[in-house]
Amino acid sequence: MNAKDYKQTVDRALETYFHAEDFPFAGLAESMRYSLLAGGKRIRPTLVLEFCRVAGGDPEAALPVACAVEMLHTYSLIHDDLPCMDNDDLRRGRPTNHKVYGECTATLAGDCLQAEAFGTILRCSLPADRRAACAEILAGAAGLDGICGGQYLDMAWEGRTLSHDELNDINNRKTGALLIAACQMGVAAAGGSEEQMEAAGFYASAVGLAFQIRDDMLDVLSTEQELGKPIGSDAQEQKNTFMALYGEEKCAAMVAKLTERAKAVLKTGFDDTDFLCALADSMAVRRS
């Protein structure tokens, strides 16, 4: 499959979740679906499915795992947009969840999506040991040493200039952790080898850092129409970013170097790497 096929497959599967029209908590389910089905490139679930395939597994069997990654990613976006965090008004070209449903419901929608992500994995038809491995990987990416820890550091270190290592520390958790998890969960869903798990992790680590640097660049170089959210907010809020630290030229060189490193490391664990190499290249030059 190509990237478009993967995205369509994931979008169709996500559409089947959280229909609760006849229940008293239908409003919460509607809020969850609002953000879950708001579009996006579906990079993380695509990585799950493709790494499952190249590790010798069945992507169809791993589809619930791919959906679970997107659920957890969506939870993180909803919470990231909240007034107590980044206080953003737009996400993917639409009003953020709390702007539509209120802060309380948006918070609960994020909480529920995180819980349902693990339930989706643990209830799927993969062998029990593979389900457990996927859930453990996802928990690591979501928790203290992952997204939550990264978000805390991002807030705790506001108002001072960060070093390269400190900036990396935040972004490795906020962005990189879930990308690594997506790739490694694909391998785990396939029952892949330790060598493949390691190669997937190294690929995702390089791609994840390149993705974040490109994100920082787009906040300066893109438009609100292209990006689907306000631009220039990083500078306005005096946030620590790679663009603020290094400028456009050096950031572009870093993205190119990391992308080449990601593609090279794939060869240590996989034979069929064309799609993953092309995906890394496309993310390096994305405009949204």
Residue 235's pLDDT band (cuts 50, 70, 90): low
- Banded pLDDT at 231 (limits 50, 70, 90): low
- Binning pLDDT at 50, 70 and 90, where does residue 238 land? low
Average pLDDT, rounded, for the chain: 93
pLDDT band at 1 (very low <50, low <70, confident <90, very high): confident
Residue type at position 225: Q
Contacts 24+ apart (CB under 8 A), 171-176: 171/208, 171/209, 171/212, 172/205, 172/208, 172/209, 173/145, 173/146, 173/147, 173/149, 174/147, 174/150, 174/212, 175/150, 175/208, 175/209, 175/211, 175/212, 175/215, 176/204, 176/205, 176/208, 176/209, 176/212
* Residues 236, 238, 211, 230, Cα dihedral to 10°: -20
What's the pLDDT tens digit per position in 59-115?
999 999 999 999 999 999 999 999 999 899 999 889 999 999 999 999 999 999 999
Q: Choose the most confident range, by mean pLDDT, from 47-61, 158-172, 238-252.
A: 47-61
> What domains lie within the chain, and their CATH numbers?
3-284 (1.10.600.10)
CB atoms within 10 A of CB 152: 14
Per the structure block, which two tokens stand in for 173?
A: 């958790």
Q: Is the pLDDT of residue 232 over 90?
A: no
How much is the pTM?
A: 0.93
The mean pLDDT value for 213-226 works out to 82
Confidence of residue 48 (pLDDT cuts 50, 70, 90): very high
